[in-house]
Structure 1
Amino acid sequence: MLILKSKGARMHFTFNIFLLIFSFGLLQAFLLSVVLLAKRNRPRHSLYFALLLLVFSLASLKIILQEVAPEVLQAFPAPLLYQFASGPLLYLFARELLFKEATRLRNIWLHFIPALLFDVLYRVGFSWFGYQNSNSAIQLLNFATNIAAVLSCLIYLGLSARLYKQFRPITKSQQQIALWMKRLLLADALSTLAAILYIALTIYNGGFMFGGVRTYYVSYAALTLYIYFLGWMCYALPHIRVLKPTKKDIHQYAAPHVKTIRDEIDTLMHKEKLYQDPDLNLNLLADKIRLPPRELSEMLNQQFGENFNSFVNRYRVMSFIEMLKQNDANLYTIEGLALEAGFKSKASFYRAFKKETGHTPLQYVEILQKNLVK
C-alpha cells in the first residue's frame, strides 16, 4: 500500500497486479480512441467505435480510482455509467458497419437518454446521502443501477444481433466483417453475462466477498478482456484499422452468396414483376433483398455488367415485347404498353428500347408485323 500525505489528511493508494493489467487496457482504449477520433474523413462506424473505446476507458478510470484512491471519488463523484452508453454505441456501430445506414442526430440522442437520467439520479443520490459504501441507500441505488444497466445491455445486444442476422455477406470483405461482428457480439454477451453473474452473487452473499474474491471483480475482469478485444479489432479489422492505411477494398464475390442474391432478384423481377413499379430505384431493390445499396450496385456492375437503370430497363423492354406479341396488343398505344411495363416517360422508354434492341419501337413493330405476315 502506498500512502501519500495531503493537507490535513492521509490518502491511501493501493495497487495490485489486476489493477495494473486493467490500467494497460485503459491506456490502450484511450489512445486508440484518440487516434480514431483524430483521423480525417473517417467513416461513421469508426466514430461510434472510437466513442465505445472512450466510454470504456473512462469507465476503467473510475474503477481504478475507486480501488486505488476512493477519496478522489468522494471529492468528485463521477458515475460514468458506461453500461448505458455501450449498448447504444454497439448498436449504432453495427448499423453503420453492416448496412451503412446513417441515423439522424436527433434520433441518436434518444438512445442515450437512460444514461443521462441515471447520471442525474446518481449525482442526486451522492449529494443527498454522501459517499459512503456502507450507506444502505447508496447500496440500493448501486444495485438498481446495475440491474437497469444489464437490461439496457441485453436490449441493445438483441437489436445488434438482429442486424447481424439480417446481414448477408456477398464479398470476402463482407464475410470478414460478418465474422468480426459475430465475435464482437459474443464478447459483449460474455461481458453482460459477467455483469449478471455479479448481480446474482450480490443477491446470494450480500455483494462483497465470495471465496476470498470481491464479487465485482468478475464484471471488472470481463470488462478488461472486452477492452483488449476491442483493441485487437482496431489492429485486425481493415475497416477500423488505425496503424496501417486501409487500401481501397476490392470486392471479390463468393459464388454461393451471389447465386442466392441472383435467385432473389430473379424472383422479384419475374414472379413479382417489381420492374413494373415506375418508382423502383436502387434503394428500394436493395431494401427488398436486405443488401446495402452500394454493394448491390457493385454486384450488378461486376456480375451483370450493367448499372441499375440498365438492369431494370432490360426487364421492362422484355415485358413490353411480350405484351406486344399478345393478341390484344393492337388495343393499346405504344406509349400505353410502355407505361404498363414500368417506364415513367416516353423519352426514357425510347432510349432504353433502342439501346436494348438496336431499333426504335416503331421499327420493331414493323419488323414484328412483317414476320407475322410471312
Structure 2
Amino acid sequence: MSLLPAFVFPNFNIHSTPLLILVLQGLIFVGLLLVKYAKNKNPSDLLLALILLLVCYQQTCYTVGFMGWYDTFRNTKINYWLMPIALALGPMIYIYVRSVTTSVFRFTRKDLRHFILAIALVIYRVSIYTYDTLQTGFDATQNGVLKLALDEPIVLPILNFLNFAVMLLYLAFTFQLFYNYRNKIQQYFSNTYKLELNWILSFLVVFTALFLYGTIQTLINEYVTELSYKQQWWLNLFMAIITIYVGIRGYFTDTTKLKRLNFTFTPNPISIPQVEKDKGVSQEEIDHVRTYMEKEKPYLNPELNLSDLATALDMSRAQLSQVINNGFNKNFNDFVNSFRIDTFKEKLKEGKHKQLSLLGIAYDSGFNSKATFNRVFKKLTSTSPTEYLNSHIQ
C-alpha cells in the first residue's frame, strides 16, 4: 500500500472555488471589453481588457494550483511561465490612464519602450525553457537545468526587485499624470465632479492597495517567517476581487466624454500681481463677459464648459480664458462656480430653503452633485452650506 497522498484534479475546495469563480468572471469582463472595443474603437477599452487579461492569467496559474493540478501532475513546467507581471502591468496602468486623459490617443512604437523589461523577460524565459527541453530527462521533472542553476538562485531575486521598483515608479508617474490632468480641466469645465475621473482615481487606489499588500506579504515571507502556499492565498483572493471590481466599473464607465473635447490651447496662468491683472485684457471685454453671465445665467447649465461659453460670447477659447484668468483673476471653474454660489445665497435669502433641501437649491443653481457643491462652497466661502444658513439666514 502506498503511503503517498492521493492528489486528484480538479479539487474544488475552500481555496480553489472562490478563485475559480472570480477568475471566470474576470475573463467574462475581458471578453465584454473586447466586444466594446470592437464596437466603439476606444483604445481605453482595449487597454483595460489587456490589464484584466494579464491579471487573470496570473490568477489562473494559482487557481489551478489550488485545484491540485501541480500536485497531480508534478512535471508541469508552470514555473517557467509564472512571471512578475508588474513589469508589464505597471506600464499598462500608466498608458491606460494616459489614453483616458488624452483627447486623441494612439499607441505608437515609442510606447513600446515601456515594455522593454517585460519583453526581455519573456524572451529570456522562452530561451531557458527551450534549452532545458533539449536536456535528457526534462519530461520527467518540473524544473530543468537552467531553471535550477540560473533562474531560481540568480535571476529571480533580481526580477522580484525590478517588479517592485517598476510598479512603484509607474504608480507614482500615473498619480502625477492624473492630478495634473484634474488641475488642467478646471481651466475648461465648470463642474468637474464627473470630469475629475473618479473612476480613474478608484482604479489607481485599488491597484496601489494591491501593490502595498503584496509588498508587505513579500517582506514578511523574506524577513519574518516563510509563508505557506495557503497563507499566500489571501493575496490571490484580493487580486481576484479587484479584477471583478475593475471589470465592472471599467466596463460601465464612459471614458469617451472628454475625448470629444480637445485641448488645442493652453490657458494662460492667472496673473497674481495687481499691476498685471488687466494686461492684454480690455475693460470692455471684462464687462461683456460679466454682463452676459449676469443676464443670461449660462452657469445654470451644469454641463457649461469653456468652449460653449466662448461660442455664446462670440469669442475664441483662448481669448475668453485670458479674460477670465487675467480680468477676473480666477480659473474657469472658480469663475463659473462663484456665480452659482451667489445664486445659491440669493435663493436662501428668498426663503427657498423652506420648500427645497439645500442640495435641491444647489442643483437649481447649476451644480450637478453634492460633493462638488460642498467642496466649492467651502472653498469660496470658508464655511459649509449649513453653517452659512444658520449664521446668515434668519
Q: Residue 319 of structure 2: which of 312, 318, 328 is its match?
A: 312
TM-score scaled by structure 1?
0.58
- For 1:178 and 1:147, locate their aligned partners in 2 and report how far apart those are by CA, in whole Å: 32
Pick closer, same or farther for the CA change 1:315–1:49 going to 2, 3 Å.
closer
Per-residue deviation at 1:91?
0.6
Q: How does 1:343-362 map to 2 (within 5 A)?
A: none
TM-score scaled by structure 2?
0.56
Q: Is the 8 A contact 2:93 2:174 kept in 1?
A: yes
Q: Secondary structure at the match of 2:58?
A: helix
Q: Residue 32 of structure 1: which of 29, 41, 48 is its match?
A: 29
- For 1:307 and 1:92, locate their aligned partners in 2 and report how far apart those are by CA, in whole Å: 37
- For 1:173 and 1:18, locate their aligned partners in 2 and report how far apart those are by CA, in whole Å: 43
Per-residue deviation at 1:153?
0.9
Q: Is the 8 A contact 2:15 2:233 kept in 1?
A: no
- For 1:123 and 1:206, locate their aligned partners in 2 and report how far apart those are by CA, in whole Å: 32
Query: What RMSD, in angstroms, separates the aligned Cα atoms of the two structures?
Result: 4.1
- For 1:173 and 1:314, locate their aligned partners in 2 and report how far apart those are by CA, in whole Å: 17
- For 1:115 and 1:181, locate their aligned partners in 2 and report how far apart those are by CA, in whole Å: 24
- For 1:182 and 1:205, locate their aligned partners in 2 and report how far apart those are by CA, in whole Å: 33
1:185 equivalenced with 2:204 (yes/no): yes
- For 1:298 and 1:38, locate their aligned partners in 2 and report how far apart those are by CA, in whole Å: 32
Q: Is the 8 A contact 1:66 1:73 kept in 2?
A: no
Q: Secondary structure at the match of 2:254?
A: coil
Q: Secondary structure at the match of 1:90?
A: helix
One-letter code of the match for 2:307? L
Runs of 5+ in structure 2 lacking a partner?
Answer: 1-6, 133-137, 261-265, 282-302, 324-394
Q: How does 1:35-54 map to 2 (within 5 A)?
A: 35-39=32-36, 40-54=39-53
- For 2:60 and 2:113, locate their aligned partners in 1 and report how far apart those are by CA, in whole Å: 26
Pick closer, same or farther for the CA change 1:313–1:16 going to 2, 3 Å.
closer
- For 1:314 and 1:189, locate their aligned partners in 2 and report how far apart those are by CA, in whole Å: 36
Q: Is the 8 A contact 2:210 2:238 kept in 1?
A: yes
Q: Residue 121 of structure 1: which of 108, 120, 124 is its match?
A: 124
Pick closer, same or farther for the CA change 1:127–1:313 going to 2, 3 Å.
closer
Per-residue deviation at 1:63?
2.0
Partner of residue 76, structure 2: 74
One-letter code of the match for 1:94? V
- For 1:98 and 1:220, locate their aligned partners in 2 and report how far apart those are by CA, in whole Å: 30
Per-residue deviation at 1:128?
5.5
One-letter code of the match for 1:17? I
Partner of residue 278, structure 1: none
Pick closer, same or farther for the CA change 1:172–1:309 going to 2, 3 Å.
closer
Partner of residue 147, structure 1: 161
Per-residue deviation at 1:94?
1.0
Pick closer, same or farther for the CA change 1:118–1:63 going to 2, 3 Å.
same
Q: Is the 8 A contact 2:87 2:117 kept in 1?
A: yes
Q: Is the 8 A contact 1:94 1:160 kept in 2?
A: yes
Partner of residue 217, structure 1: 233
Partner of residue 237, structure 1: 253
Partner of residue 22, structure 1: 19
- For 1:13 and 1:98, locate their aligned partners in 2 and report how far apart those are by CA, in whole Å: 44
Q: Is the 8 A contact 2:32 2:251 kept in 1?
A: no
Per-residue deviation at 1:196?
0.9
One-letter code of the match for 2:306? M
1:60 equivalenced with 2:59 (yes/no): yes
Per-residue deviation at 1:155?
1.1
Partner of residue 330, structure 1: none
1:163 equivalenced with 2:177 (yes/no): yes
Q: Is the 8 A contact 2:77 2:143 kept in 1?
A: no
Partner of residue 309, structure 2: 302
Q: Is the 8 A contact 1:126 1:138 kept in 2?
A: no
- For 1:216 and 1:84, locate their aligned partners in 2 and report how far apart those are by CA, in whole Å: 21
Q: Is the 8 A contact 2:98 2:177 kept in 1?
A: yes
Q: Is the 8 A contact 1:25 1:228 kept in 2?
A: yes
Q: Secondary structure at the match of 2:93?
A: helix
Q: How does 1:198-213 map to 2 (within 5 A)?
A: 198-204=217-223, 207-209=226-228
1:175 equivalenced with 2:191 (yes/no): no
- Name the larger-Rg structure: 1
One-letter code of the match for 2:209? L
Q: Is the 8 A contact 1:297 1:308 kept in 2?
A: no
